Amino acid sequence: MAQDENTSQFQRGIDKTTRSLFIFTSLWVLSTALLTFGPQFWWHFDRLSTALAAIVNVVAGIVMIRAFFNHLQSMDELQQRTHLEAMALTLGVTMIFTVLYGSFPTAQILETTYPSVILVVMSLTYITAVISLWLKRTRE
C-alpha cells in the first residue's frame, strides 16, 4: 500500500513538472515568434518594441530553463541519467554540426545558413538520444 502511494506521489510530481515545462516552453516559443515576426508585421521595426520583445524572450527562456531543471529534479535516477546522457550527446553533436554548418558559406557550399537548422538538429538529436537510451536501459 505504501509503495502504491509513493508511486502515485512520484507520478503526480512528474505530471506537475511536465505540465509546467510544457506551459513555459510554449510561452518561450510564442515569445520567439513575437520577436521574429513582430517587428515586421505589428510594430514596423520600432526599436523599443523590438527590445522589449527581446527582453520578454530572454525572460521566458530563463523561466523555461528553470522549469526544465525542476522537471529533471522530479525524475528518478534512471530517468535523470538518461536525460543527462542525452544532453551530453546533444551538446557534442550540436558543437560539431554548428562548426561544420557555419563553415558552409565560407566554403561556398551554401549561400547562407539559418540558426533554426541548428535548433532542428539539436532537437532531433535530443529526442532520438532520449528514446534510444531509454529503450536500451529498460530492455536490460
d(CA 36, CA 38): 6
**Mean pLDDT confidence for 5-24:** 88
Instruction: Enumerate the domain spans of the chain.
Output: 1-74, 76-140
**Residue 46 corresponds to which cell in the numbers above?**
520600432
d(CA 128, CA 88): 13
Q: Taking 60 as the threshold, does the pLDDT of residue 1 lie above it?
A: no
Number of other CB atoms surrounding residue 46 within 10 Å: 13
Q: Taking 80 as the threshold, does the pLDDT of residue 4 lie above it?
A: no
* pTM for this model (two decimals): 0.80
Q: Taking 90 as the threshold, does the pLDDT of residue 118 lie above it?
A: yes
Q: Taking 70 as the threshold, does the pLDDT of residue 28 lie above it?
A: yes
